[in-house]
Amino acid sequence: MPITISALANYPIKGLSGQLLDKVVLNTGQGFPNDRQFGFARPDSGFDPNNPKPLPKTKFYMLARDASLALLNTKFDAESGQLTLSASDQLLQVDITTDKGKKEAGLFLQSFLSLSEEETPQLFEAYPHRFTDVSVDSVAMMNAVSIINLDSVNEFSNVIGQEVDPRRFRGNIHLSNMQPFKELDMVGQQLVIGSVRLQIVQRTKRCPATEVDLKTGKRDIKTPKLLREKYGHMDMGIYAQVLEGGVIANGDTVDIGS
């Protein structure tokens, strides 16, 4: 069976849930559309939206340290700037392209995480800056696309005897029908999807964010530790850069180029 795209997703706000897409337009040298466009920074982060510099992910509110963020459902409309955050009986709908909206979003997250006033999150945007974990490596990596091989996740689930939701790995593109963990040995090769060409540039080392059950907001699988124990590394997925842009969609066939 050919390798195919089984899901596309972006994560508009660093550390919060993603949203599924039917198709996207990738542009040469740019990242996945509307992905990690915003970030909830900690008050002492030092981030300056007028002079954005990549910062370690510890400067932001994110799953690796704030597991209960998994319980927030996120929906972002890029055209209107409308953000919807919801969890149980809590709901926020606000335009986060405005300073007022960003402040309201920060206060909502403060309440949701039961933070003190001094810990109030600050929501930032500084396009074309992206709040990706690998932004600290280079501008090119800041715009890398995250790819997950679902067959690798399934094998990992079988090996540890526990179902692992692939959404834990927060990939932009999910691939099916690829040999488990084959992608890790493909750095330097290309993925070809119609007119689109992606250069695989790096394996994705996993952090404690992947330990969190997305349904309960609790840590239940020591993912990095188990990957290291079972496979001798902590990698799941790859990063790729867009060499040639175009439209990609669910169900598209993916070829491996040299």
Domains of the chain: 3-31+137-257 (2.40.33.20), 38-131 (no CATH)
Residues 6+ apart with CB under 8 A from 110: 117, 119, 120, 121
d(CA 251, CA 244): 19
List, in sequence order, every residue forming a beta bridge with 188; answer none if it has no partner. Answer: none
What are 93's strand-pairing partners?
84
pLDDT digits 0-9 by tens, 169-181: 999 999 999 999 9
What stretches in the chain show pLDDT beneath 50? none
* pLDDT attached to residue 88: 84
Q: Which helix (H) or strand (E) holds 60?
A: none
Q: What angle do CA 135, 15, 106 make, to 5 degrees?
A: 105
pTM confidence score: 0.96
